Amino acid sequence: MIKIKNLSCGYNKIAVVDNISTDISECSFIGIIGKNGAGKTTLLKSLSGLLKPYSGNIFINGTDIYKMKRNLLAKKLSFLPQNMPIDFPFIVKDFIMFGRFPHMNFFKYALKEDYKKIEEIMDFTETKEFAERSILELSGGERQKVLIAQTLAQETDIIAFDEPTSHLDIGSQSSIFRLLRILNIEHKKTIITTIHDLNAAGEFCSNLILMDKGTIFKSGTPTEVLNYKDIETVYNTTVVVKTNPVSNKPVVIPVFSDNK
Ligand code: ADP
């Protein structure tokens, strides 16, 4: 469904993503992993239509996204950036409604069906209890759920997240990832996310793309990608990889020693 073909992109004419090609199939849950500076966010931005490639193409169902009208792309793919700065005291339900923008009529006012959709999304994301509060009053985990709710209000089949759980405690992290899993499995959304936590990547993602220095070092299922040799090579640190006896998914344990 998504085809990335010989993609190079970056900043100030310097490519930080270098000639990447990969396919992402419908309803998959893709984790983009790799060290800081590997080019994960840059790849995600380009994939989301926000950073024009220097060369190569990104196709959704055969159409180059950089040749699509913005409004059409906004109905196919939504993107939640990392650490989105918000300094205005938006009321949560209004803030979520902004996500409906691409679906609204020429005059951009909300109709009955938009309110209905927002209600459903607030139920699903468990954000209804703070619907009337200012977004600035919420905890990090609550705020992130509101941001996800706004992204869902865009109602796209593909959703891209940049580090959706950064700075959250493990309880909030796990509740966000469970939400993404339901979106993926029950709502058939294609999820593409950058992710630092290799254990969450192993547990929740159907496929991983391990990036190194702007290229794809390896891609495949979590079991294929999260092996100690490849992880040690890319991250330059010692790890032990075990298998979660319940889910059968790989668990990566960093071994902090003096050697590396
Ligand atoms: P990752 O998400 O893997 O940590 P990024 O895609 O954020 O990596 O960054 C890849 C490289 O691009 C880094 O060297 C970073 O300094 C550089 N970079 C990221 N954003 C910008 C920007 N807006 N302008 C210039 N260089 C940038």
pLDDT band at 62 (very low <50, low <70, confident <90, very high): very high
Number of domains in the chain: 1
Is there a contact between 91 and 134 (Cβ–Cβ < 8 Å)?
Answer: yes
236 lines ligand 1 (CB under 6 A): no
**Tens digits of residue pLDDT in 174-205:** 999 999 999 999 999 999 999 999 999 999 99
Q: At 10, which CATH number?
A: 3.40.50.300
Q: What is the pLDDT of residue 74?
A: 93
Is there a contact between 132 and 108 (Cβ–Cβ < 8 Å)?
Answer: no
C-alpha of residue 199 to centroid of ligand 1, in Å:
24
Q: Is residue 259 part of a domain?
A: no
C-alpha of residue 251 to centroid of ligand 1, in Å:
28
Q: How many helices (H) and strands (E) does the chain have?
A: 9, 12
Across 12-124, the runs of DSSP E, i.e. the strands, are 14-24, 29-34, 55-60, 63-64, 77-80
The whole domain housing 211 covers: 2-254
Q: What is the pLDDT of residue 114?
A: 87
Contacts 24+ apart (CB under 8 A), 252-259: 252/198, 252/199, 252/202, 252/226
Q: Is residue 126 part of a domain?
A: yes
Least confident of 60-64, 98-102, 208-212: 98-102
Q: Is residue 133 part of a domain?
A: yes
Q: Is residue 246 part of a domain?
A: yes
Q: Is residue 260 part of a domain?
A: no
Q: How many CA atoms lie within 13 A of 226 on its CB side?
A: 32
C-alpha of residue 9 to centroid of ligand 1, in Å:
11
pLDDT band at 258 (very low <50, low <70, confident <90, very high): low
**Tens digits of residue pLDDT in 7-61:** 999 999 999 999 999 999 999 999 999 999 999 999 999 999 999 999 999 999 9
Q: What is the pLDDT of residue 259?
A: 59
Is there a contact between 208 and 33 (Cβ–Cβ < 8 Å)?
Answer: yes
pTM for this model (two decimals): 0.94
CB proximity list for 253: less than 8 A, separation 6 or greater: 239, 240, 241, 242
Residues 14 and 188: their CA atoms lie apart, in Å, by 36
Whose CA is closest to atom 18 on ligand 1? Answer: 11
pLDDT band at 247 (very low <50, low <70, confident <90, very high): very high
214 lines ligand 1 (CB under 6 A): no
pLDDT band at 260 (very low <50, low <70, confident <90, very high): low
SS3 label, residue 104: coil
Whose CA is closest to atom 21 on ligand 1? Answer: 11
Higher pLDDT, 2 or 111: 2
C-alpha of residue 38 to centroid of ligand 1, in Å:
8
- Which helix (H) or strand (E) segment holds residue 208: the answer is strand 207-212
Tokens of 29: 């849950």
Q: Is residue 187 part of a domain?
A: yes
Question: Exposed/middle/buried for 36, CB within 10 Å: 0-12, 13-18, 19+?
Answer: exposed
C-alpha of residue 239 to centroid of ligand 1, in Å:
26
Q: Is residue 237 part of a domain?
A: yes
